[in-house]
Amino acid sequence: MGKWVKTFGEMSKKDTEEAGGKAANLSELTRHGFPVPGGFCVTSPSLQHVVDSNGLQPKIDEIIASFDFEDYEGMETKTQALRDMISNAPIPGDLLAEIKENIAQIIADGSMVAVRSSVSVKDSTVTSFPGMMDTYHYLRSEEEIMEHIQKCWASLWTTRATFNRHHKGVEQTKGLIAPIVQRMIHSEVAGILFTANPISGVRDELVIEANFGLGESVVSGKSMNDFYLIDKGTLAEKQRRIARKSVICVFDENKGWGRCDTELPPEKATDPTLSEAEVHQLCEMGLKIEEVFGAPQDIEWAKAKGQMYILQARNIRNLKEA
């Protein structure tokens, strides 16, 4: 176990402040034997190590003290300055060595990876800010991965994340971020599973939304998605709506890394994304995950070469009473 970097097998759901909510939950799922793509977390103290090693804290404090949330353009300028400082800061040698060692292990077999943000708030139970931080897909070289770990750190200071903390009454200095480097799943189908109905608040229904390609199209709301409503007790489908799908998110072959949105071939537009057996399999997995965390779950999943993978699980936010 390293000082700055830990694999999913070395953490648990208790490590939210060190690992952020996403990595802590993935670690817990890994411990319970769920099919989580392997990866590691650059723990939250690492960013402060970068800041301290480069003497950046006084300048960061100065910029934060000057925030004026009534001046959006000014806030964009100031948060960009913070992002630039972090993105361009040299990484201390001990931290750099640990990250590179773990990168070498994960890409040794030719795997591509995703760099994702795992966040929390110091001295708080807050462990996620959905949609606030950045995710980078299909990275293959050490140089690409290192560059995007720094971009991930910098995304703590996107304008939208800074405003979000302000509106939630969270002190700006208490935001924590722990980049995840995780094996990339080249998914044919992906989406979201809710173990309670997030629209009606009904606890005895499960909801699946799915599209071809990466789940980013579903999460971002860019696509029309297949919709499955399932009875929680029997796992029987109560409703199945197959959308006319047009946009999918895939590997960007032109760049050779990253993702892009593209058109789905018209002949596949009305094909169902999941069979009845796959819906049943996902729901069974979702119920077991709900049992692990003791609350209704918002689960991101992906299917590749017939295998289902769990990419994220968190408590459903703001689940209203039925």
pLDDT in tens, 184-216: 999 999 999 999 999 888 999 999 999 999 988
Check whether 52 has a pLDDT greater than 90: yes
Cα 224 from Cα 127, distance rounded (Å): 29
Q: What percent of the chain has pLDDT over 70?
A: 96
Structural domain contains residue 196: yes
**Final residue in a domain of this structure, among 144, 160, 183:** 183
Classify residue 268: in a domain, yes or no.
yes
Residues 213 and 294 occupy one common structural domain: yes
* Strand arrangement, sheet containing 113-116: 5-7, 39-42, 180-183, 113-116, 136-139
- Determine the pLDDT at residue 213: 93
pLDDT digits (tens, 9 = 90+) for 100-147: 999 999 999 999 999 999 998 887 666 556 555 678 999 999 999 999
| pLDDT reading at 317 higher than 90 | no
Residue 322 in any domain: the answer is no
To the nearest whole number, what is the mean pLDDT of the chain?
93
91 and 120: one domain?
A: yes
The pLDDT of residue 79 is above 80: yes
Residue 207 inside a domain? The answer is: yes
What does the pLDDT read at residue 114? 95
Quick one: pLDDT band at residue 322, thresholds 50, 70, 90?
Answer: low
Q: Look at residue 129 in the predicted model and tell me its pLDDT.
A: 60
**Predicted confidence (pLDDT) per residue in 213-241, tens digit:** 998 888 888 889 999 999 999 999 999 99
pLDDT of 127: 53
Reported as a pLDDT band with limits 50, 70 and 90, residue 320 is confident
Number of domains in the chain: 2
pLDDT computed for residue 42 by the predictor = 98
The mean pLDDT value for 248-262 works out to 87
Q: Verify that 172 and 263 share a domain, yes or no.
A: no
Assess whether 78 and 220 both reside in one domain. no
What's the whole-model pTM score? Answer: 0.91
**What pLDDT, on a 0 to 100 scale, did the predictor assign at position 222?**
81
Torsion 110-116-119-125 (CA) sign: negative
Same domain, 165 and 210: no
Residue 258: pLDDT over 90: no
| 94 plus 161 within the same structural domain | yes
The boundaries of the domain holding residue 247 are 189-315
Question: What pairs with residue 39 in β-bridges?
Answer: 182
The rounded distance, in Å, linking the Cα atoms of 69 and 169 is 13
Over 90: is that where the pLDDT of 45 sits?
yes
**Over pLDDT 90: what percentage of the chain?**
83
pLDDT at res. 219: 85
Same domain membership, residue 138 and residue 112:
yes
Average pLDDT (88-102) is 97
> Distance between CA 224 and CA 78 in Å, rounded?
36
Q: Do 175 and 217 have their domain in common?
A: no
Q: Do 178 and 225 have their domain in common?
A: no
User: In this structure, are 174 and 207 located in the same domain?
Assistant: no
Asked whether residue 52 is assigned to any structural domain, the reply reads yes
- Judge whether 321 lies within some domain: no
Please give, one letter per residue, the 3-state secondary structure of the chain.
Answer: CCCCEEEHHHCCCCCHHHHHHHHHHHHHHHHCCCCCCCEEEECCHHHHHHHHHCCCHHHHHHHHHCCCCCCHHHHHHHHHHHHHHHHHCCCCHHHHHHHHHHHHHHHCCCCCEEEECCEEECCCCCCCCCCCCCCEEEECCHHHHHHHHHHHHHHHHCHHHHHHHHHCCCCHHHEEECCEEEECCCCCEEEEEECCCCCCCCCCEEEEEEEEECCHHHHCCCCCCEEEEEECCCCCEEEEECCCCCEEEEECCCCCCCEEEEECCHHHCCCCCCCHHHHHHHHHHHHHHHHHHCCCEEEEEEEECCEEEEEEEEECCCCCCC
**Residue 28's pLDDT band (cuts 50, 70, 90):** very high
Q: Is residue 245 part of a domain?
A: yes
**Domain identity same for 178 and 42:** yes
CATH number at residue 171: 3.30.1490.20
Mean pLDDT of 89-109: 96
Residues 156 and 195 in one domain: no
| Nearest in space to 57 (alpha carbons), one of 34, 84, 94, 85 | 85
In this structure, of 12-16, 60-64, 88-92, 220-224, the range with the lowest mean pLDDT score is: 220-224
